[in-house]
Amino acid sequence: MMAVLAPLMGLSGCGYTDSRAAHRAQMTMIGIDSQDVQTCVGIPDKIKKISDNVQIFEYSRTLNIPSTNDSALFPLQSLVNLTETALGGAGKTCITDIRFENDRVTDVHYSGDDDEIIGTDGVCSIVTRGCVRQPLASMKHVRKGPFGPVSGFYSPKATPRPATEPVLTPTAPVVPAVTTTPATPAAK
């Protein structure tokens, strides 16, 4: 049994590496402008303008996973299917939303069927891989290594945004009420 699981566990280690790459991008891309994002990620599939200074780039990517053939001696595809069913994480699709405020990245979010066998959001590394492998000068440096701030099992904590000024709606000016008193006749 161990002889069968050892190669499968070795192959699934790639999921952990992909997850760390995707989560590293969530940290390093904060603060870069939209031109730099398009340089390392590419042209977005969709752009949604929220307001004059807020917009979201959306990227949707699908991982092409070739299927293996079963043979009479080695039912490889059946083993792969059983492993994915038992351990989970056979994701193939990632939707990445990158939020810009004043043309600077403030958030990178992943959604979709994007988990691999080990780690979370691993499929999303296909979107942000260019930014992680060849960092731009404008990107934040994030310490590498197994004990760095990046995990393969959860997204980094979002940095709190400063409180914004409350939006004041224009109102009609308040005009004080004027009371008039009747004029009194002048005394003779």
Give me the domains of the chain, ranges plus CATH numbers.
2-64+89-133 (3.30.1450)
pLDDT, position 37: 94
pLDDT, position 137: 80
Highest mean pLDDT: which of 11-15, 21-25, 82-86, 168-172? Answer: 21-25
pLDDT, position 167: 45
At 84, the pLDDT band (50, 70, 90 cuts) reads low
Structure confidence by residue, pLDDT tens digits, 162-174: 555 444 445 555 5
Indicate the angle between helix axes 125-133 and 2-28, nearest 10 degrees: 60
Indicate the angle between helix axes 76-87 and 2-28, nearest 10 degrees: 60
pLDDT, position 131: 86
pLDDT, position 8: 47
Q: CA 114 to CA 160: how far, in whole Å?
A: 25
Spatial CB neighbours of 106, under 8 Å, sequence gap ≥ 6: 30, 99, 100, 161
Going by C-alpha positions, the residue among 147, 96, 167, 89 that lies closest to residue 126 is 96
Which two structure tokens, joined as six digits, stand for 65?
A: 């996973």
Going by C-alpha positions, the residue among 90, 136, 111 that lies closest to residue 22 is 111
Q: CA 132 to CA 43: how far, in whole Å?
A: 17
pLDDT, position 158: 62
